[in-house]
Structure 1
Amino acid sequence: MSIFKLLFGGFSKNPHVTVLSREDYKAQLSKEKVQLVDVRTPAEYKTGHIKGAVNIDYFQSRNFKEAFTNFNTEEPIYIYCRSGNRSRKAANLLSKLGFTKIYDLQGGILNWK
């Protein structure tokens, strides 16, 4: 087994998830009304969020999947968290829920400011 697989578990890149730089993310959000989700906790969300973002707490796993039932899986969805870790996990979960165009903010909200 290669050292890469030992260290990283041999993860393959999810073809439905694109990590965007802050500049590209901002450019995409400015084009049109988008499905924008902040996956941080409500307390984190209250400290500041991207305008128009809906807060769906990733840690509320029971309700997290259900919260996306009203979203359109055919439309792109933009997600972010604090640093990029939770949103990466959330993106993979959204892919399993049928979303095919998932855009994640590189570095999370820390990179946005």
Structure 2
Amino acid sequence: MKKISIILSFLLISLVSCEEKATNVQVVSYEEMETYLDLEDIQLVDVRTPKEYKEGHINQAQNIDFFSPTFDQDIQKLDKDKPVMVYCQMGGRSAKCAEKMKELGFVKIYDFKGGYSKWKSQEQTK
């Protein structure tokens, strides 16, 4: 009986530990993104092509091209324990990137809804 209790306790602790590490991708609006960028030490990642990035990007963003053959290696150079905000042009690539990061064990992932197009239109109305 004592062995069963120990085994059950161990399994319960293991499940709780795994649950704590699990993460969900949080899709954020323009307003939420502004807040997160101001409040948290976020790694901001633009997953568009270098050409798109050169045509305009959000300040402090680093460019990691989703279509690059080295994308998987490049994304793993980021700190998995620090929050990451990803964006692309309109939201498709960043959603795929966020899911990939989730699989790789990133702890906190934000996906900017609407991407750079949304950012640019909101900035122009200020």
Q: Matches of 1:33 and 1:51 in 2, distance apart?
A: 14
Conserved 8 A contact 1:17-1:100: no
Q: Secondary structure at the match of 1:99?
A: coil
Compute the displacement of 1:70 (Å): 2.3
Aligned partner (choices 81, 93, 96) of residue 100 of structure 2: 93
Give the share of equivalent positions with the same residue, in percent.
Answer: 45
* TM, length-normalised to structure 2: 0.74
Pick one of 50, 54, 58 that aligns with 2:66.
58
CA-CA distance at 1:34 after TM superposition: 1.7
Matches within 5 A, 1:38-57: 38-57=46-65
Which has the larger helix fraction? 2
After the TM superposition, which residues 65-76 of structure 1 pair with which residues of structure 2 at under 5 Å, given as runs? 65-76=72-83
| Contiguous gaps of at least 5 residues in structure 2 | 1-21, 121-126
SS in 2 for 1:23: helix
1:108 and 2:109 are equivalent in the alignment: no
CA contact (8 A) 2:26 2:110 kept: yes
TM-score by length of 1: 0.82
Distance (whole Å) between structure 1 residues aligned to residue 117 and residue 99 of structure 2: 21
Larger radius of gyration: 2
**Aligned residues, how many?**
99
Show structure 1 runs of 5+ residues with no match. 1-13
**Cα distance, 1:40 vs structure 2:** 0.1
